[in-house]
Amino acid sequence: MLPMDFCNMFTPRERCERAMILLDQVGMADQAHKLPSTISGGQQQRVAIARALANDPPIILADEPTGNLDSKTAQQVFTLFEKLVNQGKTILMATHDSDMAWRVSRAVIIADSRIVNEYVARALPALTLEQLGWVMHHADICT
């Protein structure tokens, strides 16, 4: 509720209700009254995602949002992100999870500090990111 309080968003009652809805969306409503030190790192990650959504931002920047999560929970978070995108949100996500990266509407692949042309990446799906980086570096066809 703290982000909503800092930004003077919603009434105190609405803040509590909204916090519980957001915690429920990330599967943490049953842990709402626990201290952060008493929940796992993955649970803390899910709470951080709920906190990021608290003030209903139009753009969400997510750096490895599923990095500390098991595959089932990561899938639930990604499904939540898909719903948010369908509701008009923009999500900019950095991830090393190639399975998730290929499910998004637009992916920008970075290899060896260079942007890999997404069309080349889609045309050569069997190549690793390192191999794509080598191809892009030697072909000099970066976007």
Residue 21: which CATH number? 3.40.50.300
Q: Give the pLDDT of residue 139.
A: 65
Total tally of structural domains belonging to the chain: 1
Query: Does a structural domain hold residue 116?
Result: no
> What are the pLDDT digits (tens) for 55-110?
999 999 999 998 888 889 999 999 999 999 999 999 999 888 877 877 888 777 77
Please state the pTM of the whole predicted model: 0.75
The answer for residues whose C-beta is within 8 angstroms of residue 97's C-beta and 6 or more apart is 66, 74
Query: Does a structural domain hold residue 17?
Result: yes
The answer for residues whose C-beta is within 8 angstroms of residue 51's C-beta and 6 or more apart is 2, 3, 22
Residue 93: phi, psi to the nearest 5? -125, 130
Q: Fill in the DSSP letter of residue 39.
A: S
Domain hosting residue 87, numbered range:
2-107
Query: Does a structural domain hold residue 67?
Result: yes
Query: Does a structural domain hold residue 135?
Result: no
Q: Give the pLDDT of residue 117.
A: 65
Number of residues written out for the chain: 143
Query: Does a structural domain hold residue 128?
Result: no
Query: Does a structural domain hold residue 59?
Result: yes
Query: Does a structural domain hold residue 28?
Result: yes
Query: Does a structural domain hold residue 58?
Result: yes
Q: Give the pLDDT of residue 143.
A: 45
Closest alpha carbon to 122 in 110, 132, 133 = 132
Mean pLDDT for the chain overall = 86
Q: Give the pLDDT of residue 142.
A: 45
Closest alpha carbon to 23 in 7, 40, 1 = 1
Coarse DSSP helix, strand, coil percentages of the chain, rounded to the nearest 5 percent: 50, 10, 35
